[in-house]
Amino acid sequence: MKLTTRSRYGARLLVDIALHSKNGPVPSKDSARREGISLKYLEKILKMLKEGGYIKGKRGPNGGNILLREPEDISIGAIAQILDGQEKILDCVGDETVCPRSAVCLRRSIWDDANQAMYKMLDSYSLADLMKDAYLCPAERMK
């Protein structure tokens, strides 16, 4: 079970926006610099987060991004699902046609349970939880 770079960067980006939006919108280029993410890739992630209703972008000289929800109301599982879709531990968990043995597989329910447990665990953490120790991250020290 591996989350993609998109999910990991998306969580980091939302933490960055939450931590730096006290004085207004957070410019994308500033987040990209602090987080070490290319601006082009960051903009793709921002687009998905905007479509998911998590952030809003403001254009102009004082433009940037702001959260549309409180950090406590943004689950890490929801971020992963928006950015990665419902990733599956194995292909057969999401698509029975992948394996001819799916209908009789004795282990398939175990893989499905493991997949559900992963998202349940991710849903138990919020963006606020990630923010608690953000000061320990090297990127956070790059103000």
- pLDDT tens for 28-58 read 999 999 999 999 999 999 999 999 999 999 9
Do the domain assignments include residue 121? Answer: no
What CATH number corresponds to the domain at position 29? 1.10.10.10
The better pLDDT of the pair 142, 106 is held by 106
Do the domain assignments include residue 44? Answer: yes
Question: What is the Cα–Cα distance from 70 to 139, expressed in whole angstroms?
Answer: 22
Question: What is the Cα–Cα distance from 56 to 132, expressed in whole angstroms?
Answer: 23
pLDDT score for 95: 61
Do the domain assignments include residue 74? Answer: yes
- Please, are residues 25 and 65 in contact by the beta-carbon 8 Å criterion? yes
pLDDT score for 62: 87
Question: What is the Cα–Cα distance from 32 to 23, expressed in whole angstroms?
Answer: 18
Q: How many structural domains does the chain have?
A: 1
Do the domain assignments include residue 97? Answer: no
Residue in 42, 23, 9, 33 with CA at minimum distance from that of residue 140:
33
Residue indicated by tokens 């926006």: 17
Do the domain assignments include residue 80? Answer: yes
Do the domain assignments include residue 109? Answer: no
Q: Residue 45 belongs to what domain range?
A: 5-87+126-141
Do the domain assignments include residue 96? Answer: no
